[in-house]
């Protein structure tokens, strides 16, 4: 059981980067993702009692971050400018794997981040995103193809 403030702080330090990547996979900017992480940290602190199994802490925090990011995205989704879409459509070659991941559509981006960066299993991702295992696999399959296209001149 994680009970003290110090233990909580250590838990966040160990998982904040994973939370950021998960939030960033839903949102289109680093600033928004940091906001979502900030909100998730506060919620985690307030609802720490609901975390029964410390071994599940990482998944729990990532899920909180994803949910906060989805809330943030919902609040700002009407703002999606076609200019941003133009920018998204533009890069056919990505300068780095992370840039390529960020260029993916949000649903596939999230699946990729949780699978490759956070090392989650497909079933675990399905639970975090509240979608079916088949959908996770489908999104990963399409994401691989797109990543391949964007990175093929590098090492893939």
CA terminus-to-terminus distance, the chain: 43
Q: Which of 4, 13, 55, 123 binds other proteins (CB under 8 A)?
A: 13
Q: Which of 70, 120, 125, 128 binds other proteins (CB under 8 A)?
A: 70
Q: Residues touching other proteins: how many (CB under 8 A)? A: 73
**Cβ of residue 55: shortest distance to other proteins, in angstroms?**
21
**Cβ of residue 28: shortest distance to other proteins, in angstroms?**
11
Residue 88 near other proteins by CB under 8 A: yes
Q: Which of 2, 51, 116, 127 binds other proteins (CB under 8 A)?
A: 116
Binding mask 39-58 for other proteins (x = CB under 8 A): --xx--xx-xx---------
**Cβ of residue 15: shortest distance to other proteins, in angstroms?**
10
Residue 127 near other proteins by CB under 8 A: no
Q: Which of 51, 58, 97, 127 binds other proteins (CB under 8 A)?
A: 97
With beta carbons less than 8 A apart as the criterion, state whether 26 and 110 touch: yes
Residue 28 near other proteins by CB under 8 A: no
CA atoms within 13 A on the CB side of 133: 5
Nearer to other proteins, 1 or 98 (CB): 98
């Amino acid at each position: 059981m994680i009970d003290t403030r110090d233990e909580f702080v250590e838990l966040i330090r160990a998982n904040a980067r994973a939370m950021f990547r998960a939030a960033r996979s839903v949102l289109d900017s680093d600033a928004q993702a940091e906001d979502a992480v900030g909100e998730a940290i506060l919620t985690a602190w307030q609802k720490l009692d609901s975390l029964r199994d410390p071994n599940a802490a990482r998944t729990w925090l990532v899920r909180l971050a994803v949910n906060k990011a989805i809330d943030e995205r919902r609040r700002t989704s009407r703002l999606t400018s076609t200019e941003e879409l133009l920018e998204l459509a533009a890069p056919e070659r990505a300068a780095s794997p992370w840039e390529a991941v960020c260029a993916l559509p949000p649903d596939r981006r999230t699946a990729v981040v949780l699978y490759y960066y956070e090392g989650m299993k497909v079933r675990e991702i399905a639970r975090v995103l509240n979608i079916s295992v088949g959908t996770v696999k489908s999104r990963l399959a399409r994401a691989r193809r797109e990543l391949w296209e964007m990175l093929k001149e590098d090492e893939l």
